[in-house]
Amino acid sequence: MGLTAERTLEIPSSGKSPLTGEALRRRISVRGPSTSKIFVMVTMALILAVGIFLRVYPSAGFKGIGFDEHAYMVFLKQIEMVGVPNYDAVVRVYVERQYKQPDAVVPATRIGFLAPAYFFGKLLHLSSFNALRATNCGAGILMLVLSGCFAYRMGGTGMMVGTTALVATAPLQIYLSQRALIDGYFAFWAVLSLWLAWENLQRPRHWGWLIAYTLSLAVLVLTKENAAFVVVAIFGVLLSNRWLRLGTLSPQLLVATLLGPTLALMLLAGMVGGAWEWARFYQMFVAKSRTNFYSIFAQDGPWYRYLVDFILMSPVVVVLAIGRIFQLRKADRAEVFMTGFLVLNFIFMASVTYGMSLRYAAYWDMLLCALASSQILSLSRKFPKVRSTILASGLILIVGMTGLSQYYRFFIKGEVYDPVTAALVRAADLQKSAK
């Protein structure tokens, strides 16, 4: 600490240094880089600590048990009775009952979520609800870490800090981590699959990345049926690589993109009773979902419904993300990759009749936060170096505080359980009730 250049380099008394130019700059001991790394590490530790606390502490106003949560609890108790190796018996009982019921009920085939919850419950001696919540909460915490890793690989330290901070304070992510719903857990696997797809584009034919990517897609499909939208969107972005030049598209990557979901579908078909029975059941389930009262009442709307819901939930993040999208250049490959996935996934999900809900698209949060963070960094670069760092930090802090304010508005004060458009409008006081 406090060493002068002369003492560090042991410059002779004659004052003549044998080192000049670049050699001199390399030898001078500079505190800046090490101090900067420590600052980043401390900042990330604080962000992660705050984000974990927000997810673990049960602050949401709604304290009851929702319909979907109750269904997952029933399935979990049935698994506890028969054991995971006999889980196909639980699925077949569900299928038989579903044929007789007028409305679609949460599928028992979501083993990618229910099996980990079962093991969590056994390991920690938790009740069914707490086991489901712990699984979901754990995925929410892992999403924080994953967001930082993904952002760092995309844009370096600044991108990592900004994205992690915005994800840590994202209202939808905080809320879902406190519930026994599947959507936060599904979001983690969706983002992980997308990140691994990106890494495989950058490192073609790397067997470690390929195996991880294949397994991630398999778990994604075993978790929820909406995985189809994620897989198709990823596949679409990979095919567009010919024009976008995002990386190197190898035949192995295309095979892995198809292999993971195929293996998962084979397992699901085996549990239901065969490929033909699985196809028949799925057609029946989709048909009954479209006649479900709640789906018709709360999950329908125009194609831009997701955009409206995200603006209601996270207005500043969405505005910044859209601004960044319109400034992208071909050289911004990682952000073009994320934007391409968002656009394709939006098109597919917005076309579903009676099946639109903000929590179904919870995995968009990380991508929107990354784009918003990139926009903040882009704006701050217009100022001198020191001022740009202060400006970026201040803007990220403001956006993060706005996210917490929105969380309070909707999920603490508003006591929203399912963040559908009607509930968000009421909680935001955009709709007044007559007295």
Locus of tokens 């740009």: 388
Q: Determine the pLDDT at residue 19.
A: 46
pLDDT band at residue 13 under the 50/70/90 scheme: very low
Residue 145: inside a domain, yes or no? yes
Q: How much of the chain, in percent, has pLDDT values that exceed 70?
A: 91
Tokens of 260: 């993971």
Q: Determine the pLDDT at residue 30.
A: 41
What do you get for the CA distance between the two ends of the chain, in Å? 69
The span from the CA of 90 to the CA of 110, in Å, is 11
DSSP string, 377-428: HHHHTTS-HHHHHHHHHHHHHHHHHHHHHHHIIIIIIS--SS--HHHHHHHT
With 70 as the cut, is the pLDDT of residue 2 above it?
no
Q: Determine the pLDDT at residue 386.
A: 65
Smallest CA-to-CA distance from 190 within 238, 222, 236, 153 is with 222
| Residue pLDDT, tens place only, 222-268 | 999 999 999 999 999 999 998 999 999 999 999 999 999 999 999 99
With 60 as the cut, is the pLDDT of residue 336 above it?
yes
The span from the CA of 51 to the CA of 29, in Å, is 36
Range in 7-11, 211-215, 261-265, 417-421 with the lowest mean pLDDT: 7-11
Tokens of 390: 């202060």
Determine the average pLDDT of the residues in 295-311: 91
Residue 8: inside a domain, yes or no? no
Q: Are 306 and 345 in contact (CB under 8 A)?
A: no
Tokens of 280: 């028949």
Half-sphere exposure of 198 (CA within 13 A, CB side): 21
Q: Determine the pLDDT at residue 431.
A: 75
With 60 as the cut, is the pLDDT of residue 9 above it?
no
Q: Determine the pLDDT at residue 65.
A: 93
Smallest CA-to-CA distance from 324 within 166, 196, 93 is with 166
Q: Determine the pLDDT at residue 406.
A: 97
Q: Determine the pLDDT at residue 385.
A: 67
Residue 53: inside a domain, yes or no? no
Task: Show the CA angle centred on residue 290, arms to residues 284 and 294, nearest 5°.
Answer: 125
Tell me the pLDDT of the chain averaged across its residues: 89
Determine the average pLDDT of the residues in 15-42: 58
Residue 71, C-beta contacts closer than 8 angstroms, at least 6 positions apart: 105, 106
Tokens of 60: 């949401």
Q: Which residues of 178-191 are buried (b: 16+ CB within 10 A; e: fewer)?
A: bbbbbbbbbbbbbb
pLDDT band at residue 12 under the 50/70/90 scheme: very low
Residue 244: inside a domain, yes or no? yes
pTM: 0.90
Residue 210, C-beta contacts closer than 8 angstroms, at least 6 positions apart: 200, 252, 253, 256
Tally of domains within the chain: 1
Residue 8, C-beta contacts closer than 8 angstroms, at least 6 positions apart: 27, 28, 29
The span from the CA of 146 to the CA of 150, in Å, is 6
Residue 205: inside a domain, yes or no? yes
Q: Which residue has the higher pLDDT, 285 or 310?
A: 310
Q: Determine the pLDDT at residue 346.
A: 97
With 70 as the cut, is the pLDDT of residue 3 above it?
no
Q: Determine the pLDDT at residue 99.
A: 87
Q: Which residues of 303-312 are buried (b: 16+ CB within 10 A; e: fewer)?
A: eebbeebbbb
Q: E strands, 99-235, where?
A: none
| Residue pLDDT, tens place only, 155-170 | 999 999 999 999 999 9
DSSP string, 231-258: HHHHHHHHHTHHHH--S---HHHHHHHH
With 50 as the cut, is the pLDDT of residue 32 above it?
no
Amino acid type, 235:
F
pLDDT band at residue 33 under the 50/70/90 scheme: low
Q: Determine the pLDDT at residue 178.
A: 96
Q: Are 181 and 136 in contact (CB under 8 A)?
A: yes
* C-alpha dist (Å) from residue 242 to 196, 249, 285: 19, 8, 37
Tokens of 97: 């009952």
Residue 11: inside a domain, yes or no? no
| Residue pLDDT, tens place only, 62-121 | 999 999 999 999 999 999 999 888 998 999 999 888 888 888 888 999 999 999 999 999
Q: How much of the chain, in percent, has pLDDT values that exceed 90?
A: 72
Residue 15: inside a domain, yes or no? no
* C-alpha dist (Å) from residue 38 to 9, 85, 128, 162, 363: 25, 48, 42, 16, 30
Q: Which residue has the higher pLDDT, 37 or 337?
A: 337
Residue 113: inside a domain, yes or no? yes
- For residue 171, the enclosing domain spans 61-427
pLDDT band at residue 25 under the 50/70/90 scheme: very low
Q: Determine the pLDDT at residue 353.
A: 83
